[in-house]
Structure formats: C-alpha cells, structure tokens
C-alpha cells in the first residue's frame, strides 16, 4: 500500500505516547491535539460539548460529513488513542481484549493497522451470558436501549425481527467504532446512527447523572454492532480480518 491510508484516531485528552504519522488525530470535547483536528474548532463550543453524552459518536458524525465533502473512496480506519484493531495484536490476551503497555506500540508496523488496504479489519464478536439486552441491563438502563431500538425501527434502519433477534442474541461486536472498513460502510452506518440518535434525543432521551448520561452512545454502540455485522455477513465473514482489540494500559507490565 503506497498511498497514505485514510485513518483517524480519536482522543478526548492528552496522552504520553506517539501515534503513527499516517493517522489524523481528532480531539473530542475541548481537547485540541498539537497536530490534527479539534471538535471544539470544527463546531461551536456548545456543540463540541455534546461529547459528554455522545462520546466518540459526535466525532464520527463529523468525520462522515468530511468524507462526503471530500468524496472519499476506498477504505477508512478508526481507532481510539488507547484501543486498536490490529492484524498482529500486541500484549497479553485477557478476557476478550489484548492488554499492552503503551511502550509496546513502537513494535507495531503501520500495515498492522490497515493490512493490504482492501480487506476489512474488525473487532471480534464477543459472547456473554444471557443476551445483548441482559448485558446492557447489567451496566445501564434497559428502557433506554429499548426506546433507541424502537426509534431505529420507526426510522426504517432495522426491522422488528432484526431487533428481536439481535437483542436476544448472546453475541455482539463490543467496540464497532474501532475498525478499518469501506468508506461506504462507514458513511451509511453513521448516517443511520445519527438519524436514530436525533429521533431518540427529541422524543425519548432522559438525562441521567454521571456516566449513565451516555445512553445514546451506549445504544449507538449496540446498533452499530448490528449494522456492521450485517455488512460483514454480506461481504463474507471469511473475507474479513477479525481480531480481539488491543487496549493500552500504562499500569500493565512492559514486555
């Protein structure tokens, strides 16, 4: 792959390690990276502050608009400054993620982030006890997810049967925002997420204290997992690279 890949790294705060030069840094909230883009400059301060309940999805919505404006084609990659989908993982597999000290990032070759540039690289699907709905209920408010998926049905993004089957399934892609996928996939998926989020915010959003106020981000993550899995199935599961994600942890031992 000779051309610089289209790849974004989203961060909400400063960090102490170096990201690859080919990545475009995107600071969410009020974080302004030394090099790259900042949501606080792309949007009004009030709009940029919406990341407090939308998380990285606010940045995803903006990236979609930029990709459309630039008529981007091919593939686009995304990572979080602590979380990556790599063709060659680093660290130690614990649970369903690899954990690694940030110093180990220097071992990662650029092509481990984007492969051959024409094969989707996605997180693995993870199975939990019970179902997607039960897993969500253990960490947040079930009512929010049900309302969000109801709005997705009303928007025509997902059918009643698809919602029932997904929410009762024990498996889903736990971090669908970290991937290297066709631009068309991303543009279509994020369009649907923003459409549903807007309806949910108008009609069903309930403010909750603290981290629980991210019901839209939590719900977007579940819906995105479904929409991404649907495209993987159509592409051919044997034609994608699915890997457990790598999470950087400064407390983890250097190896």
* Domain presence at residue 114: yes
Render pLDDT for 155-185 as a digit per residue (tens, 0 to 9).
Answer: 999 999 999 999 999 999 999 999 999 999 9
* Domain presence at residue 254: no
Taking CA atoms, 247 is separated from 96, 135, 208, in Å, by 10, 21, 28
| Model confidence band, residue 18 (pLDDT cutoffs 50, 70, 90) | very high
* Domain presence at residue 41: yes
Taking CA atoms, 88 is separated from 93, 105, 236, 246, in Å, by 12, 11, 21, 10
Structural domain boundaries enclosing 43: 7-248
* Domain presence at residue 108: yes
Tokens of 80: 């979080």
* Domain presence at residue 1: no
Tokens 């407090």, located at residue: 52
Render pLDDT for 101-137 as a digit per residue (tens, 0 to 9).
Answer: 999 999 999 999 999 999 999 999 999 989 999 999 9
Tokens of 34: 């030394």
Q: What is the pTM of this model?
A: 0.95
* Domain presence at residue 167: yes
Taking CA atoms, 10 is separated from 62, 198, 238, in Å, by 12, 22, 29
The tally of domains found in the chain comes to: 1
- Choice among 46-55, 167-176, 209-218 with the minimum mean pLDDT: 46-55
Percent of the chain whose pLDDT exceeds 70:
98
């Amino acid at each position: 792959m000779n051309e610089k890949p289209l790849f974004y790294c989203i961060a909400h705060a400063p960090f102490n390690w170096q990201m690859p030069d080919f990545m475009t840094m995107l600071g969410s909230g009020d974080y302004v990276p030394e090099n790259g883009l900042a949501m606080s400059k792309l949007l009004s301060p009030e709009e940029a502050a919406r990341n407090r309940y939308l998380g990285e999805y606010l940045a995803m919505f903006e990236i979609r608009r930029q990709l459309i404006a630039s008529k981007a084609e091919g593939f686009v990659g995304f990572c979080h400054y602590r979380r990556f989908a790599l063709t060659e993982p680093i660290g130690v597999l614990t649970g369903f993620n690899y954990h690694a000290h940030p110093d180990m990032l220097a071992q990662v070759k650029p092509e481990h982030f984007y492969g051959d540039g024409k094969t989707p690289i996605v997180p693995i699907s993870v199975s939990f006890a019970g179902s997607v709905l039960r897993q969500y209920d253990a960490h947040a408010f079930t009512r929010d997810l049900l309302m969000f998926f109801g709005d997705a049905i009303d928007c025509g993004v997902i059918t009643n049967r698809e919602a029932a089957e997904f929410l009762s399934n024990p498996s889903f892609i736990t971090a669908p925002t970290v991937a290297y996928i066709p631009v068309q996939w991303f543009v279509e998926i994020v369009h649907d997420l923003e459409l549903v989020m807007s309806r949910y915010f108008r009609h069903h959003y309930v403010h909750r204290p603290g981290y629980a106020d991210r019901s839209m981000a939590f719900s977007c993550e579940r819906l995105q997992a479904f929409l991404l899995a649907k495209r993987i199935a159509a592409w051919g599961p044997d034609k994608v690279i699915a890997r457990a994600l790598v999470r950087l942890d400064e407390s983890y031992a250097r190896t």
